Structures are given as structure tokens and as C-alpha cells.
Chains A and B, each alone.
Chain A
């Protein structure tokens, strides 16, 4: 290869490299879509993150929350948060997570208050969602915490103290570790012949008598 030819080759390779780096840094833009206006973001971006970022300014007391709860929540969730009929329970169950039939509620299972605020504001009361004001949401969440013995009767919940309220099960969650704790399921030689004793039938779906009014019926949630 002549000198000049190799110089041209080097130049071309160099240009290609620059072009490739350029493409990697600045993704090609389609120019589709338009900028979101600040008012539009304010209207939709109402979520609250786990650490409380996104909470709107406001406040509400347990007492105010009790009134809202009785008027707008108790018909489904029960006067004491026990859950009317098969509607979800919002209180009780503390210390039951290792029990044969655990009861997963705000007091026994939820890890933080911010998601409770977020969830209540985005979808409750069920069937009439997004009708609670920021203050009403603080109040009803304060009442739910009080029902679960997490805050005292005279408590006021607000955007400054919400994230510091400690939940009983705050440290009860761990990351997905299946690839380590269930490593044995990656089994190179699954047994094909004479793998076990003659099996016995230990349970039958026909015996469970699963009827629609079976209160003990398991739940999908």
C-alpha cells in the first residue's frame, strides 16, 4: 500500500470512528412529540416517591381524618379498618407475618408512609378516585396510621414529617435473590428414571369444596 493510500485509509477510519462516537453520544432524534408544558407536568406529575419526594404542601390531623374515613372509606374498609366483607383490611395483623395465615395490612406489612399517601391520592375512594385534596389525604392517612397504632390520637401529618414516620415493617423487604437462594434449580442432570417412591395423593381439589361464599378462600391480590 502506498503512503498516501494508507493516509487516506487512516483518515477514513478516523472519520468513521468520529461519526460512530457522535451517534452513540447524541441519539438520533426523530423530531416527533412536543415539549410538555410546566402546567401539564404539574397536572399529571402528582406521584410521591418512596422517600417522600413529590409530596404536595399540606397537613391533616387524625381527628379530621376520622371524619373523612367514616364518610368516604368505612363502607368498604370497615369502621375499624377490618375490611367489610371481602373488601381489603387496612389495619390489624401486626406480628402475623410468620403466622400460618398472615394478615398483610398497613400496620403489619407496608414499609413506608409515602406510598400510602401516593396510593390513597391516586385511586381512593375506589370508584371516585382523585377527589381527595392534598390536606384531606394527609388527614385520612394520619387516621389510618392511628388505626394501626403507629401515631397518637393528637397527631398531625404534613409534608415535612411524613417521611420520618417509621413503619413497623420498614425493614421487612429484601432484594430478589432467587439466582442465589434457588441456585439448585439450575440442575444440569434432572432425574429421568426411578426418581422417587410411588407417589401418594395427599390432597385433592375436589375435597376443598371451593364455593363462592368460602370466606377462607385464598385471595388474588
Chain B
């Protein structure tokens, strides 16, 4: 399986063997309750770990996952870009539980590689239309009032490869440019108050300290409402690939705005129309015009289990599981269809259900080897209903690249294998 991935080949065989199923024909155990002929050696035999001493406390100063979980990693689709320093990898959504993405599994997108910044040499400058241009050190920021908040970060290009039809076999690849993390930091409002906004201050420009100097425009209205400048994720310092030592957190809005390695905020009166808001991160429609400053992420969901990397292995009772989220508010309801959108059942939402956070849903179902066409549909607190892919294409065409939140379809075959399909 390794060879498949390291040579960059994303073949069905690769995906399926990654899930522990070699080839096509797999005998599916009928029922968990079926009487077994012989006693289970996992019970009847004494295992090594039941006899011998394990590692002592000094062996794992910073703990890592069990060696049996080594396949649960971010993965790159090498053909997407010319070089790994300007590329993306994908969160293994099918292997997660609950709503928090472990820091080391949060997808990455860099435009000039991962900057390794010494926090003692990091500065944040606020200048432009302010009463007093200011400079802050990381220690300064850590003396200010702070908040923690769980929210999702979705790349605007998540699912971008699927506009023209089913492309990639795995929710990791179709939906994995998202993560959900508890971020901790200083409300941006406190810093802007400290510098004092001039009356004509309407937009901010956030700028990164890496070699891409990523810059994006942000309306002051959003900046003053719920934006954080975060130094921590999931209880520890940001990971370098997530912008250590400082990044912007802009709940509900596209990931590219969440500038990493944040070094400067300039206050202005108009948006900057920077490269990442003209040439990129604009949504080209069928009439040749492009939507600009499409910040909010529309409501969206995906079934993560079953999915191509997580086939069904047992007949009888199964648990369907997935994620739903909305940049406009909280997830209100998720419906699931097993027959390609003909009939829907409302799924069970797992607590906590938070504003602008990924939300976990479940549905218990019985499966007897029949073909399934699995879909999920998110509804958010504003009443927005996640659209069908065809409906979305009728409005947006197929060249948008960004903001594809159409309903995903998985085909489950009689042998439990799952494929990404397009339904008509």
C-alpha cells in the first residue's frame, strides 16, 4: 500500500487495500452474533502484552498514536500542484471520531512551504488608518484577555476537484480540506481598540510572515465581531504548519483568510483586491464572470463511514457516521438517504452541536448486502438546505473551483466496497 501512495498513484486498488481489503471479492461475515466454532485465541491465549512490561514513562515524552494507527495520516494528491511547498494535503475524515481534529491530522495548504518562526523574533504590527500604529510581541499577546472557541476551517477549494463529476475515491480527498479545532487567542477587537480605528476604517489587510507573504482583505465589521488571533490549538501552541506562532481565526469564513504566521494588519478604507482575491479564490461562473469576496462557507456535509476508504465489513446492524457544518451558524438537522436521494431519514446529531463547528451525525441501519446510494444533506440554523450537485451546477456552472458544497453520493456494492459516484 505504501508503494502505491509514495509513487503518488491514487488507484482504487490503493484506496481499498489502504482500508484493509485486498482486491474485489471479500467474504462478509454475516452476523456478529453467529456462533463461532472454536474459542477466540484473543481470549483463550495469553498475549505478550499481558505478560511483559511495556515502555516506561520516559520513552514517550511527547506521545504519538499507536503503531497500529500508522495509516491514519494526512495524504497528498501529488498531481494537483507542481511542488509540495505549494500544495495541499487532506485530513483523514473517515478515521476520526467526535468533532475535534487532532492537530497532527489537520490538513495543510501552504503557498511557500512551512515557515519555522522563532516566537522570540515574531512581531505583530498594526498600522494604516489607526490613531496609534503598534507593535506587539508574542509575550504581549499572552498578557491580554483571551478566549477559546471550537470552529471549523474549510479551504474554499475543498471538493473543488469534483465540480465536473466524481473524481477521487475517498472522503479524505473529496472533503478533507477541513479541520475542526479549539483555537485559543486574543479577540482582534481588543487589538484594534488598542490602536484606535479611524472613522474611515472599513477593511483590514492581514499579512503573513512566511515567504508567500499571504495577504487577504477582511471587512472591519467581521474583525470586530468574532475574529481571534490564535496562538494555541487543541490546548497547545499552534503547529508550525498551522501558522506557529500566530494565525487568524475567522469563524465560518473560507480558510485562505485565516492568515498563518500573521505578522501585520493594515487598516484601510477599501479591499485590497490582492492576488488571492482576484486571480484565485474567486468563483468563475458559466457566463464568464466571477464572484469576488465570497467569504462565507455554505452548509455542507459528508458521510465518512461508509466511504471508499471505510467500506462496510459486516451485514446486519451498522452505524453510518458523518460530519456536517455551516459557516452561517449551527447545524440544525442532517438528513441521510440510502437510495440516492429518493427518500430521506433524519440523522441523530451527536453533542456538542456548536455554532460554526463541525457537527457529528449518526444513523443506525441494517444492511443485507443490497446496493446502497448513500447521501447526506445538512440544514443550518438559517434554514439553508445543502443543495444537490446538479442544482448547484445549474447556478454556478462547473468552473467555479471554489465553494462546492453539493451533496456527495457514495455507491455501496454488495461486497461492501464503496465508490464515489455521480448520480443523474
**Once the chains bind, are B275 and A119 in contact (CB under 8 Å)?**
yes
Instruction: Identify which of A76, A178, A202, A203 contacts B298 (C-beta below 8 A).
Output: A178
Contact A185 B161 (CB under 8 A): no
Question: Which of chain A's residues 81-140 have a Cβ closer than 8 Å to chain B?
Answer: 85-88, 97-98, 102, 104, 106, 109-112, 114-116, 118-119, 122-123, 126-127, 129-130
B21 to nearest A CB, angstroms? 14
Contact partner of A44 (CB less than 8 A), chosen from B144, B196, B263, is: B263
Q: A50-B271, A173-B292 are in contact. Are A201 and B79 (CB under 8 A)?
A: no
Chain B interface size, as a band, is 35 or more
* Given known A87-B82, A200-B423, A221-B280, contact A173–B161 (CB-CB < 8 A): no
Docked-complex contact B273 and A112, CB < 8 angstroms: yes
B241 contacts chain A at the CB level, 8 A cutoff: no
Q: Establish whether residues A205 and B288, one from each chain, have CB atoms under 8 Å apart when the complex forms.
A: no
In the docked arrangement, what's the CA distance between A130 and B134, Å?
Answer: 24
Of B80, B274, B419, B422, which is within 8 A of A217 by CB? B80
Pick the residue among B78, B87, B164 that contacts A218 (CB under 8 A). B164
Interface residue range, chain A: 35 or more
Q: Which residues of A contact B292 (CB under 8 A)?
A: 173-176
Q: Which residues of chain A come closer than 8 Å to B168, judged between CB atoms?
A: 205, 210
Which listed residue, A33, A102, A188, touches B140 by the CB 8 Å rule? A33
Given contact pairs A111-B278, A123-B212, A212 touches B8 in the complex (Cβ within 8 A) = yes
Pick the interface stretch among A10-18, A56-64, A191-199.
A191-199
Q: Does A181 contact B (CB under 8 A)?
A: yes
CB-contact partner of A104 in B112, B273, B284, under 8 A: B284
Docked pose: A111 CA to B292 CA in angstroms? 11
Interchain CB contact under 8 A, B135 and A33: yes
Q: Are A27 and B193 in contact (CB under 8 A)?
A: yes
Q: Is A154 an interface residue (CB 8 A)?
A: no
Stretch from A1-9, A35-43, A65-73, A143-151 forming part of the interface with B? A35-43
Chain A residues 160 to 211 lying within 8 A of chain B, measured CB to CB, are 172-178, 181-182, 185-188, 190-206, 208, 210-211
When the two chains form the complex, which single residue of B111, B274, B296 contacts A115, counting CB atoms closer than 8 Å?
B274
Within 8 A of A (CB), among B293-317: 293-296, 298, 308
- Whether the Cβ atoms of B212 and A212 lie closer than 8 Å is no
Contacting pair B136 A33 (CB below 8 A): yes
Q: Nearest Cβ in chain B — how far from A17, in angstroms?
A: 21
* Known contacts A36-B125, A36-B133, A204-B419; A199/B294 CB under 8 A: no
Which of B35-43, B349-357, B358-366, B382-390 is the interface stretch?
B382-390
The chain A residue with its CB closest to the CB of B275 is A119
Chain A nearest CB from B372 CB (Å) reads 12
Q: Is B102 an interface residue (CB 8 A)?
A: no
Distance (Å) between the CB of A47 and the closest chain B CB?
6
B377: Cβ under 8 A from any A Cβ: yes
Residues of chain B within 8 A of A41, CB atoms compared: 125, 127, 133
**Residue B117 CB within 8 A of the other chain:** no
Flag if B167 contacts A208 (CB, 8 Å): yes
What is the bound-complex CA distance between A32 and B377, given in angstroms? 47
Interface residues of A in 18-50 (CB under 8 A from B): 27-30, 32-36, 40-41, 44-45, 47, 49-50
Is there an interface contact between B279 and A110, defined as CB atoms closer than 8 Å? yes
Chain B residues with CB below 8 A from A206, complex form: 12, 169, 419
Q: Name A186's contact: one of B126, B136, B164, B384 (CB within 8 Å).
A: B384
**Among A29, A115, A205, contact of B193 (Cβ-Cβ < 8 Å):** A29
9 closest Cβ pairs, A-B complex: A203-B422, A27-B193, A199-B340, A212-B8, A50-B273, A202-B424, A205-B420, A97-B288, A122-B213
25 A-B Cβ contacts within 8 A?
A28-B193, A33-B140, A34-B134, A36-B127, A41-B133, A45-B264, A86-B81, A115-B272, A173-B291, A173-B292, A174-B289, A176-B291, A182-B387, A186-B384, A190-B344, A190-B379, A199-B409, A201-B421, A203-B421, A210-B168, A211-B79, A212-B7, A212-B77, A220-B109, A220-B401
- Given A50-B270, A86-B81, 16 further pairs, Cβ under 8 A: A35-B132, A35-B133, A36-B126, A45-B128, A50-B271, A115-B274, A126-B112, A176-B291, A190-B379, A197-B342, A198-B340, A201-B424, A204-B420, A206-B12, A217-B80, A221-B81
